[in-house]
Amino acid sequence: MTVAVETARLRKTFGALVAVDALDLTIRRGEVFGLLGPNGSGKTTTIRMLCGLLEPTSGSATVAGFDVAREPEKIRERIGYMSQRFGLYDDLTVLENLRFYATVYGLHGADRATRLAAHMGEMGLAVRATQLAGTLSGGWKQRLSLACATAHRPAILFLDEPTAGVDPAARRAFWDSIYVLAGSGTTILVTTHYMDEAERCQRLAFLSRGHLIGLGTPAEIPAQFGQATIEAVFVELQRRDEGAAA
């Protein structure tokens, strides 16, 4: 299997609002794939459909070879998901959060103990093991959230604006972890607003008002839009969106 995620004419509407429309996307296995676009362009809705949090209105999508509408539970065992809300239990410690998610993902007994010990080491969380998650700073929460989403070694990792509101040093450390995961074969789909993060992806897809309007490597994208940088593309898109809205 060389394809990790594939969508065909994927569409999602909320009442009269069309959030995602006619989306055709193929993400290869092992790829670090960036999903870019202004607020409201459909990035989060797309990720949520792929993770089974939202049902597509029409069209289809497969994740890890399984259809999102027909076999969501098979998909859930094989993916990790992290959102900007982090999804941590504030009143559990770092270790308890990790242990809870690892067990829910089916890790048990000695397996779980060795895996968690190793994972906490890799993620640099061992020093905070007994601290309550609610008392962690944003950067540490982000790191713990990523650890919770990856303890079960998912084949595909979905990251929805994972670095929103985190300082530059923490963002850099976060991306180092992403590359370690990608190096071990994990496919990563990430949405972001940061241009430096976009540059770190192998391929990018640009969404605008629910439509795919650009696809390519960070080097190819600016040329497609007749701009010098990705940031310039982004600003141009935002301007167009606002023009359309006005």
Partner 1 sequence: MSLVERVRRSRVWPMLWKEFIQMKRDRLTLALIVGIPALQLVLFGYAVQTDVRHQPTIVLDESRTSESRALVSTVGNSGTFDVVGHVHSRAEVRSLIEDGTAKAALVIPPGFMSDIKRGHTAEAQMIVNAADPQSAAAAMSGAQLAAGARTQALLGAAGRNRVVPLDLRVRPWYNPAQRSAVFIVPGVIGILLTLTMTLITSTAIVRERERGTLEQLIVTPIDKTSLMLGKTIPFIVVGYAQMTTALFFGKVIFDLPIRGSILLLYVAAIAFILASLGVGLLISTLVRTQAQAMQLSFFFMLPNILLSGYVFPREAMPEPAQWVGLALPLTYFLKVLRRVLLMGVGVEHIWREGVTLAVIANALLFVSIKRFSKTID
* Binding residues vs partner 1 (CB under 8 A): 48, 51-55, 72-73, 76-77, 79, 81, 83, 85-92, 96, 99-101, 103-106, 108, 148
Residue 199's identity, in one-letter code, is E
Shortest Cβ distance from residue 177 to partner 1 (Å)? 18
Eight-class DSSP state of 131 = S
Q: In this complex, which beta carbon is closest to partner 1, that of residue 109 or of residue 183?
A: 109
**32-36/203-208 β-pairing:** parallel
Shortest Cβ distance from residue 191 to partner 1 (Å)? 15
Instruction: Please name every residue paired with 3 in a beta bridge, in sequence order, or none if there are none.
Output: 28
Instruction: Please name every residue paired with 81 in a beta bridge, in sequence order, or none if there are none.
Output: 158
Q: In this complex, which beta carbon is closest to partner 1, that of residue 189 or of residue 237?
A: 189
Q: In this complex, which beta carbon is closest to partner 1, that of residue 21 or of residue 234?
A: 21
173, 143 contact by CB (below 8 A): yes
Q: In this complex, which beta carbon is closest to partner 1, that of residue 91 or of residue 220?
A: 91
Shortest Cβ distance from residue 240 to partner 1 (Å)? 30
Q: In this complex, which beta carbon is closest to partner 1, that of residue 107 or of residue 198?
A: 107
Shortest Cβ distance from residue 103 to partner 1 (Å)? 4
C-alpha closest to that of 177 among 136, 143, 152 = 143
Three-state DSSP at 146 gives helix
Shortest Cβ distance from residue 172 to partner 1 (Å)? 25
Shortest Cβ distance from residue 145 to partner 1 (Å)? 8
DSSP 50-114: HTTSS--SEEEEEETTEETTT-HHHHHHHEEEE-TTTT--TTSBHHHHHHHHHHHTT--HHHHHH
Cα–chain-centroid distance for residue 84?
Answer: 10
Q: In this complex, which beta carbon is closest to partner 1, that of residue 97 or of residue 192?
A: 97
Structure tokens given for 218: 């960070």
